[in-house]
Amino acid sequence: MSGTFLIDIGNSALKWAAISTPQNTGVMVYSDPIELAEQVRDFYKKQRPELIYACTVADARIAETLNAVCHRTRVEWLGSQRIFRGRFTLENRYEDYSKLGADRWYAAIGAAAKHPGTSLLVIQMGTALTADSIHCLGESRYEYLGGRIAPGPTMMYTMLMGGAARLKSIAPGSLSRFPLNTNDAVTTGIFDCIEGFMRGGLASLSEDASVKLVVTGGAARFFEFEIKERFPRAVFDDNLVITGLAARVASEAEKEH
């Protein structure tokens, strides 16, 4: 499948990889469709994609930007599935599986592919903060049980700055057990929210003693030390969605043969 690429578009970054090397991911950070279009044009000229498999939870204009720039290339948009069948199966228990964010679904597939044989709580720390529960039934069988959504760290900070007049000029600070200035108080408070959110997700899987905490997303590395300090078994993985997309494409190719 030479010339085939995988693309994951978030609200502020686009990740891409050749399907032959999904572990090697490129990133484009953007603030608006115009900036994204410029970067995608460079990608298009250098990589010459013949086929793109993509997923997105961003504004529809972002998908339209990719389609417009890559108009000579076939772009297949992949959404969530009722059930994934590949080297393992993952059944989607969402009330309406088509309404589950594609990034959450493919991150779940990617996490199960990379961490087989155990139940998982997948934390994504981007524009939104999500926690998705995957229960291992054994024998390469999993079920997606559902998840939580909250504002991501940057959104928490922005909302606080916009809603509290006396905090409008506060810069991010450091984490502290007893914050002694407003900058540190804000940053520590945001992390406390994140920690509580993660513990809530783990509590939902408390009957499963083998749960592995998998953390991903652009903001995850900012809090990596603190997360590992509070959750020693947590693993960080920046490539879950692309891995999940690659697994989906591989499973479809196997069906055709």
Q: Kindly give, in sequence order, each residue whose CB lies less than 8 Å from that of residue 129, ignoring residues fewer than 6 positions away.
A: 123, 149, 150, 151, 152, 153, 194, 197
Say whether 10 counts as a known binding-site residue: yes
Say whether 255 counts as a known binding-site residue: no
pTM of the model: 0.93
pLDDT at 10 over 70: yes
Torsion of CA 164, 165, 170, 175, to 10 degrees: -20
Say whether 130 counts as a known binding-site residue: no
Q: Pick the catalytic residue: 42, 96, 103, 192?
A: 103
Say whether 11 counts as a known binding-site residue: yes
Residue 135 pLDDT: 96
Domains of the chain: 4-77 (3.30.420.40), 83-245 (3.30.420.40)
Q: 183: helix, coil or strand?
A: helix
Q: What is the mean pLDDT of residues 146-158?
A: 93
Of all residues in the chain, the percent with pLDDT exceeding 70 is 96
Residue 100 pLDDT: 97
Dihedral sign of CA atoms 229, 234, 239, 241 in order: negative
* Model pLDDT for residues 105-136, shown as the tens digit of each residue: 999 999 999 999 999 999 999 989 999 999 99
* Model pLDDT for residues 60-102, shown as the tens digit of each residue: 888 899 999 998 999 999 999 999 999 999 999 999 999 999 9
pLDDT at 165 over 90: no
Is residue 184 among the annotated active site residues? no
Banded pLDDT at 2 (limits 50, 70, 90): low
